[in-house]
Amino acid sequence: MTKRDIFQTVLFLSILLCLYFCFSFHFLSLTKKDRNSKMQPFNEFIKSDPRIIILGDSHALNAVIMPILGAKYFSFAQGGDNIRQMFLKLDYAIQEKKNIRYVVIPGDYNIFSMYRNLNKDYAPDLLYAKNHVLISNLYNENHVSVILRAFFRYAPLATADDWEKYFFLLTNNQQTEESTNTNYEHLSQSEKEASSVKRVRSQLGNKIIQSELVSILDQFIAFCKKKHVKIIVVRYPFSKEYGYYAKKYPLNEVDAAFQARTSHFLTILNYENIFFARSHFFLNTDHLNDEGAKYFTEILKVDIENAISQDIKSISVLSGDLRYPMPVTKRGRL
């Protein structure tokens, strides 16, 4: 190889490296807000000392106002979270804080559905999760691949998924979500029904029970039992229209999945229909607005505190033995 060839090769590699750094910097700038948003709860968690962890997706995120619950609660609920991500967050929380004794999980009809099983990208979870064995098990991924993925998270655009996300960001106009104060009640009845049909179909259509997600719930239950953490199941409120169209799907399959595991839960709280006559409490078909969330959180706090109070009394009676038969408290049908 001549000096000219060496020079051209070095020049070519230098240009590639320069382009890589430029693209990487641009990618990091485009995703900075998203990364900060994902890490904010974990940064806040380090400063807290909770006994009760709330997990869930946007239903829990919108419905629960943390200042009302108080300092012994902490919420990791985030839009789009599935049972895998809830599991990883609880594992992280227990590793960081030793006083956690209760966890609140959703019992909503969409928790086992097909669309909740589509997201199998664990890369965002590597920002906080260090239990690579658990990630490997939950995502049925080779352990070495998980470790490599964790390593490459420090190198932007080092994976195909990063490039896919980068191209998506480049080719889709980043439109700022318009914040409106329009409540669900201000829609016409036909608009409410059309919105509910679309929402229900997206959440419950295709396959309402994915056995893979039910299996992960069983692993979650076993994990909680091992760590002496009691599980509280909550089904969050949805609108009357959502409830009407949801009945066209096999909801009994979801109910059966939870009923079969009743003995593993401290309590089951079903609030699905408590606001059917209060459409002004909803932001949309299945999310509460600020007014509804305030009202709901007060109810939720009383019910959780009652369940925990009964739990403490039972533990006292049984001289500290955590393996006791605990009756299940239910609001409505689940």
- H or E stretch at 270: strand 265-270
Q: Which residue has the tokens 């979870």?
A: 125
- H or E stretch at 230: strand 230-235
**What pLDDT score was predicted for residue 53?**
98
Strands (E), 51-106: 52-54, 73-75, 102-106
Lowest mean per-residue pLDDT among 61-75, 95-109, 150-164, 288-302: 150-164
Cα within 13 Å of Cα(77), Cβ side: 24
**What pLDDT score was predicted for residue 232?**
98
| Measured distance CA(81)–CA(108) in Å, rounded | 13
Domains delineated in the chain: 37-119+195-317 (3.40.50.1110)
Q: Which of 42, 108, 48 shows the shortest CA–CA distance to 73?
A: 48
What are the backbone dihedrals phi and psi of residue 267, each rounded to the nearest 5 degrees, phi first? -160, 155
- H or E stretch at 10: helix 3-46
Length of the chain: 334
Output the 3-class SS for 190-212.
Answer: HHHHHHHHHHHHHHHCCCCCCHH
pTM score, whole prediction? 0.83
Torsion of CA 236, 242, 244, 249, to 10 degrees: -80
Task: For 41-95, write each residue's pLDDT tens digit.
Answer: 899 999 999 999 999 999 999 999 999 999 999 999 999 999 999 999 999 999 9
